Chain A
């Protein structure tokens, strides 16, 4: 621990030095500066990643920022696929850095550890303090100081075909994980819809973000920290228990290819109308339904439903009689821990307008904006405003599944673990592994050094 602190201090010191060297021309001295409202003629750049933040929210931010500071807010949309590259090149560059940026919660520790963000501990209380989603706050913390804070959260839960489950003789959703495992295997073997390659539960071979719940639910984890050093823990007894269950699922319940990733699972749940000439009897052209159950982030519900048409555009309408949701149950009476999705947000250490950037954060953590997030199905960072999500089936599932959500390890090298695709690779090998323990050991040896690289 001592060494880690020393290292972190050195980094902090170095970044302060560099900062001082680079920003000697500009008057601000980073930390300690208060939120400024004098933005006349100035532009603050905000990077948002992906299209998740709806346009109405962007407009609100721009208007509100103009009102409070008379400055201009320039919102740049970046893509999830390139955000690491762009943060790597732009954040150290005082002339081109975004002032405020969103990043994936799992990317936060990597950049926070190298001093990419401004210390905003002084604002922590004002922005929501202990009301903010704790696991996300931790992902942005180094040595007790806050560098990034949660932006919004999402969560994963189960979507299923009520009609297919009923046909297979299962009328109530499972209440324990073991029950779930048996149910989906039964449905797969009964294949009540008589469809080729039918999955009781569709779980992609490389889909570790969903599969990890089986590890969590059995008390296992990917990595653990002791004495300032991270070690991969796939070979731990609890993790192995989860892996064994996963192997059984892959073998008996899922027909997903072993290279399938965590994307667009919902298409396997939908029916599509047969096009002219295609019938169910014709083997070469089955209907597209090919799974009774999937697990996906909450927003997937917009794409699940019966097909309709409005103004020539095809729509999907959720039908309670056909589709249902439930939160993946654990074996302890609670929900199984799921992988928390979502974003953090931070001010670049090289920002030339830290005062204005702080004002922007205040707007984003304010009641109005937090409630706007909730209304759009994005979990608000501040738990006071969770009710804004509403009370429908999806809001309930989101809140309940995220009550027990877990983040990936806050190891400094986590981003390289994700970038290397080693977890995808490991999960893809579970199904056909003759010896899971050996496989787990092999990958522990690969992952451990990555976890500790900076």
Chain B
């Protein structure tokens, strides 16, 4: 419709109608992707009996916070939340720092063993984790790090760092070294040239890698299951799984399970919405310069 009206605008004529179509497709895709998330939140507000009906209830009219109240009443959510936040922070910070240094090494320097290192971090990711539990447990037990934030963090950092190196390597390599060199010719030290020129260009890469590391640390549960055996030291995925299993051993209360799931997802969603602005602004600035 609006495309027809604006047909007079010559420059835009070939673009407009398809743009409307693209927008519609975009909305449809967004709806498809968000539906399971919506369904979780919707269900968390409805009582279990409504959820057991064969006809789904799509809008939580007459819903309540009862499920959330019941979940909080367990009293174990907040300790688990604290544990997860601390682990995620440690993992993100260490991971970004370690990975950034390594990415710098492999994309800015030519040195002996470089290829080997690149291959090694690639291959490490190919190792199935399902066979490593026993050894990981023994390792952590031998250094007395079972049931500790540090123990889990070490395993997580090791699991995430290879990929973050890969990701950052791409970003570092995407920034022409000539930029830095030009700055150095202008009299800046290597470090300063790096900080002033390269680092800002890296921001989107760092944000993206950080998001990845955060997600992994937040969501992982098989390693946590093995290394965190004390009920007092649970991460959120363990807590959620325990909640689901406890619920399933009697009558599964889907409403409460969904409320618990929502609570686990909520901090990530908040974190993402916060970072999202930075990620896009980083991307946009990158685009302008590119």
Contacts and interface: CB of A to CB of B under 8 A. Distances in A.
A/B contact in complex, CB under 8 angstroms: yes
B230 interface: yes
Contacts of A264: 248, 251-252
Contacts of A82: 225
A80 B251 contact: no
Interface string A25-55: 0000000000000000000000000111000
B226 to A, nearest CB: 6
B125 interface: no
Interface in B193-241: 225-226, 229-231, 241
A286 interface: yes
Given A277-B55, A288-B53, A51 B229 contact: no
Contacts of A275: 50, 53, 55, 57
A303 interface: yes
Given A88-B134, A89-B133, A89-B226, A314 B245 contact: no
A88 B135 CA distance: 12
Contacts, number: 84
B231 A77 contact: yes
Contacts of B53: 272, 274-275, 278, 285, 288
A29 to B, nearest CB: 23
Interface stretch (A5-13, A90-98, A177-185, A414-422): A90-98
Interface string B32-73: 000000000000000111101111010000001010000000
A368 interface: no
Given A82-B225, A95-B141, A275-B50, A51 B246 contact: yes
B242 interface: yes
B136 to A, nearest CB: 9
B49 A272 contact: yes
A89 B225 CA distance: 11
Contact of A303 (B64, B229, B251): B251
Contacts of B231: 76-77
B246 A50 contact: yes
B137 A89 contact: yes
Contacts of B52: 267, 272, 288
Nearest to A50: B249
Chain A interface helix/strand/loop/mixed:
loop
A313 interface: yes
A100 to B, nearest CB: 15
Interface string A282-319: 00111010000000000100110001000011100000
B60 to A, nearest CB: 13
Nearest to B48: A314
Contacts of A86: 226, 229
A266 interface: yes
A72 B137 CA distance: 26
Size class of the contact patch on chain B? 20 to 34
Contacts of A314: 47-49
A263 interface: yes
Nearest to A98: B229
A266 B251 contact: yes
Contacts of B225: 82, 85
Interface string A248-279: 00000000000000011011000011110110
A332 interface: no
A285 B55 contact: yes
B258 interface: no
Contact of B133 (A81, A85, A303): A85
Interface residues of A, number: 38
Most buried by A among B64, B226, B248, B251: B251
Nearest to B134: A89
A79 B134 contact: no
Contacts of A277: 55
B155 to A, nearest CB: 14
Contacts of B250: 51, 299, 302-303
A126 B209 CA distance: 62
A59 to B, nearest CB: 15
Interface string B138-180: 1001001010000000000000000000000000000000000
Interface string B101-118: 000000000000000000
Contacts of A307: 49
Contact of A284 (B48, B55, B144): B55
A97 B121 CA distance: 35
A361 to B, nearest CB: 22
A426 B177 CA distance: 63
Interface string A57-82: 00000000000000000001101111
B195 to A, nearest CB: 46
A82 B244 CA distance: 13
Contact of A79 (B48, B64, B245): B245
A85 B226 contact: yes
Given A96-B141, A278-B55, A302-B250, A273 B245 contact: no
Nearest to A274: B53
Given A51-B246, A76-B230, A77-B231, A96 B49 contact: no
Contacts of B245: 50, 79-81
A52 B249 contact: yes
Query: Which of A76, A77, A96, A278 lies at the interface centre, i.e. has the most chain B CB atoms within 10 A of its CB?
Result: A96
Contacts of A50: 245-246, 249
B42 to A, nearest CB: 14
Contacts of B229: 76, 86, 89-90, 96
A157 B66 CA distance: 34
24 contacts: A50-B246, A51-B246, A76-B230, A76-B231, A77-B231, A79-B245, A80-B249, A86-B229, A88-B134, A89-B133, A89-B134, A89-B138, A89-B229, A96-B146, A272-B52, A273-B49, A275-B55, A277-B55, A302-B250, A303-B251, A312-B47, A313-B47, A314-B47, A314-B48
8 closest A-B pairs (Cβ-Cβ)? A303-B251, A89-B137, A285-B55, A79-B245, A314-B49, A51-B246, A278-B55, A76-B231
Given A95-B141, A275-B50, A314-B49, 18 more contacts: A50-B246, A51-B250, A77-B231, A80-B245, A86-B229, A89-B133, A89-B134, A89-B229, A96-B146, A264-B252, A272-B52, A272-B53, A284-B54, A285-B54, A286-B54, A288-B54, A302-B251, A303-B251
Interface of B: 47-50, 52-55, 57, 64, 66, 133-134, 137-138, 141, 144, 146, 225-226, 229-231, 241-242, 245-246, 248-252
